[in-house]
Every structure is written in structure tokens, then in C-alpha cells.
Amino acid sequence: MMILRTLNQGPRHGYAIARHIHDWSKGALEIEDGSLYPALNRMLHKGWVKAEWGVTENNRRARFYRLTAAGKKQLEAESTAFNKMVRTIQLVMRTSS
């Protein structure tokens, strides 16, 4: 979901996604950069993202991932479900305390 959200802001390559998540979570989420790729591969299969070769700002060749329509829909669905879950947990926490 975090990858989808990252890509929602526009196509990015793998390293940029990793950076982004790292920065976003203020370093709280320590993931190996490599473990990103199997996740991306899965999303490619599901048709949520599309990949194209391009050139980075530093003139390096890299693959850029772009969110597809299905990917956007998935993101919405997941955010809704996540928000709902969070709200439910909050509700439970509040009433039980």
C-alpha cells in the first residue's frame, strides 16, 4: 500500500521508491532495498503497476513504475479498508479505556 501511495504521486524508479518510503517513515521502517523488488514483481503480475525503462536525473538507466487504473482502484480500496481498521481499533481502544 505504501508503494502504491508513493507511485500515486507520479512514476518513480525502484531506488526512489525505497528512498521515499525510508524518508516518509522518518527511518522508522528499516527495509532492505532489495525486498522491494519481489513486491513490485507481484504488483506487475496483478496489473496494478506498469514498468518502463527510462533515465534518471543523474543519467542512470532505471525502470520507472507507474500506477495503472487498476492500481489506483486498489489503492483506494486499501486505504478505505485501512482507515476503517484504524478507526475500529481506535473505537475499541477508546471504549475499553
Q: Which residues bind other proteins (CB under 8 A)?
A: 13-15, 18, 32-35, 37-38, 41-42, 45, 56, 58, 60-63
Instruction: Give exposure, 76-91, as e/b (b: 16+ Cβ within 10 Å).
Output: eeeeeeeeeeeeeeee
- As measured in angstroms, the least distance from the Cβ of 93 to other proteins is 35
Nearer to other proteins, 21 or 79 (CB): 21
C-alpha grid cell, residue 20 = 521515499
- As measured in angstroms, the least distance from the Cβ of 82 to other proteins is 25
- As measured in angstroms, the least distance from the Cβ of 84 to other proteins is 30
Do 65 and 50 contact (CB within 8 A), yes or no?
yes
Nearer to other proteins, 37 or 79 (CB): 37
Nearer to other proteins, 41 or 83 (CB): 41
> What SS3 class is residue 55?
strand
Do 3 and 43 contact (CB within 8 A), yes or no?
yes
